[in-house]
Structure formats: structure tokens, C-alpha cells
Amino acid sequence: MENTSVGDLQNEINKERFDTDKEIKIVRVQYFRKRNKLKIILKSIGNFTKEKEDHIKNILKKRFSMVEDFEIICYKDLSNITLEELSKKYWVDIVNLASSSVPIARDCLLKSKREVLEDSINITYNNEFLCRFLSKNKFEGKLKSYIRDIFGIKCNVKLEYDKSFNEEDYFKTIETMEKSMIKNALSEIKSKEKKVIRKENSPKTREEENKDTSILLGRSIKEDSIFMKDLNENSGIVVVCGDVFKKEVIETKTGRKIVTFFITDYTNSMTVKLFPRPKDADRIIEEIKEGIYCKVRGEVVNDPYARECVIMAKDIVKTTKIEKMDIAEEKRVELHMHSQMSA
């Protein structure tokens, strides 16, 4: 491979300034000799557009003319994020993390009103019972810890009842909590039953299961998928299949990574978010790429900032698309007349 230094490459990349004072930094450069492939990992404060990517690829092709394949991964740098930005743009990510340990908090956090005052974030929700329940379980402290540990922001968190409570809200909350408790209990029973069956049949361990290269996150998915056009914020846990057509990676001040990718089954498209464990992050970022076909299981939630539903992924499996074959002896021919009324 041609002689060049990371510093020279860094300078050339930033010669053309796409955003004032938002330079792109090189995090790591890797060369894979067997595949004759160069992988470059970047970090950018601004959005990493297709224009920027093409510009960098052209530089790499000129400098490393003998290399056949180039892969560029860019992390969006959130090291300078403010509490105000966190409460708007990345709130759904905090909700996903916090509700993994306290599921009943999800609805409260997503539908609450939030106000940032200096280094405090005040959360108000119109259900007194739930506010008391979460405060009693020291949820404010847990949320404060999540924000500090993941985004590197020290702040105070205050959860308050906003007094627009009514009886209907109370019974809805009780019903939601009961459903959640029943769901968790059934899940525990199923989990124990599976463990017993596994011991009897002495099948694969979790570690062996994860060696399956088709499993990108979590476990294998046996359920059938549903169409994306049928999803809404009340869909709950769903399974979808589709082509990945875009990926974004965000890196927080503490070094944790949030992965977002966009998937379509051609009835609609969905945004999928995941928060991989640090030890799995690089592998998952490497394997989830544009053009792969995969099956995703996760919970549909409403992202208030993006004003759309997103899937919080629990499991992701790379799979093969089954193409529909026309096996009829007489082939069907469809004609479409173009007129002023046609699309």
C-alpha cells in the first residue's frame, strides 16, 4: 500500500470545508490485505452527507490506487451536546435505555412535558399515581445516572405531577401496570421452560448461539414478519423484514454509540434504533450496512422529536430475501395505459 501518513490524509480531507469549524477527524484506518480493502473510521460534528463521503472516497482512490475496495464509517460526534438538545433530539434514546430497567416508565417519559432550566430537566406528567410510583422507586436518580453515564452531562432530574389528573388516567395506568406485570411473569415462565428444555436436549449455549453469523443482535427470530405499512405507535413488539438503505452512527461524550438504520419492505420504511453494548458495537456497526436484507424484532415507539414511529431493536438477524417466482404455465402480462390521469 502506498506510503502516506494519517496527518496528511486528515489535512487533505479538511481542505474542502463543508461546514465552518466542523472538521472531520480520522479515528482509525484499517487495511485488510486478503480482501485488498481499506476501512476508514471518521468522526464528524456536522452531518456526514453523500457529498462528503464521495469527496473522501475520491481522495482515497487517488492516494491508494492499488486498493480495490473502500469502506467509510462516520460517527456523529455528540461530545458538545447540550441538555436542551438531549431533551429534544435524543430523548427517545434515553427513554429506550431507562425503560429497559423500568418498563412502566416508557409511556410517562414519551408523553411527558419537558423543560430545561440551567442544569436541570423538569419532567411533568398528568398521572399522579405513576409519578408517585416512579419517585418512590428513585427513578429520577436512575435517569440522572443514565444521562451522565451515556451522554456525559451532569444534571438534576425532577419528575412532577402536573395536576391535570383524572380518574380515567388512573385506571388506565393500573391496567397498563397489570398488563406489564402479567407479561413479565409469562416471559419469566417461558424463559424457565426453555432453560429446562435446553438442559434436557443439551443444545447450544448462548455463546454458541451467538456464533451464528446471521445473528447481528440478540437472538434468532422465528416469528413471521408483518408489513411496515400496518405499524403504528400502538403496535408494541413487532417483527419486520426489509432492505437496509441507510445507516447513521452517533458517538456520545462517554464513547457509547447509538446506531440508527433505515429499512424498507416497499410497503413503507421504518427507522430502527439500537444501543449496542460497547464490546459488540464495532462488530454490529461493521455488519449492518446498506444493501443487506434482515429481520428485526423490537418495540414500536413514537419519537416526539422526529414526529414518527421508530423501532427499538432487540434482535436483528441477517437473512435471505425470498424472491417470488412465476411458475404458471401461462404467464400473465399486465398492460398499463399512460394518460393524463395516470401516475
- pLDDT, residue 20, reads 46
**What pLDDT, in 10s, does the model give residues 234-282?**
898 999 999 999 999 998 888 889 999 999 999 999 999 999 999 999 9
Q: Over 90: is that where the pLDDT of 321 sits?
A: no
* pLDDT level of residue 226 (50, 70, 90 thresholds): very high
Q: Between 13 and 251, where is the model more confident?
A: 251
Q: Does domain 6-78 have CATH number 3.30.300?
A: yes
Three-state DSSP state, 312: strand
CATH architecture of the domain formed by 83-168:
2-Layer Sandwich (3.30)
**What pLDDT, in 10s, does the model give residues 330-341?**
666 655 554 544
Write down the domain spans for the chain: 6-78, 83-168, 210-318
In CATH terms, the superfamily for domain 210-318 is Nucleic acid-binding proteins (2.40.50.140)
Q: Over 50: is that where the pLDDT of 37 sits?
A: yes
Q: Mean pLDDT over residues 305-314, rounded?
A: 88
* β pairing state of 120-125 and 37-44: unpaired
For cell 479538511, the residue is 14
Percentage of the chain with pLDDT > 90? 32
Q: Between 121 and 194, where is the model more confident?
A: 121
Q: Which of 40-44, 83-87, 172-176, 197-201 has the highest mean pLDDT?
A: 83-87
pLDDT-wise least confident of 41-55, 112-126, 309-323: 41-55
Q: Where are the alpha helices (DSSP H) in the chain?
A: 6-13, 50-63, 83-89, 91-101, 105-111, 128-136, 139-151, 167-201, 206-209, 278-287
Judging by beta carbons within 10 Å of its beta carbon (0-12, 13-18, 19+), is residue 45 exposed, middle or buried? middle
**What pLDDT, in 10s, does the model give residues 172-185?**
655 665 565 565 55
Bridge partner list, 158: 122
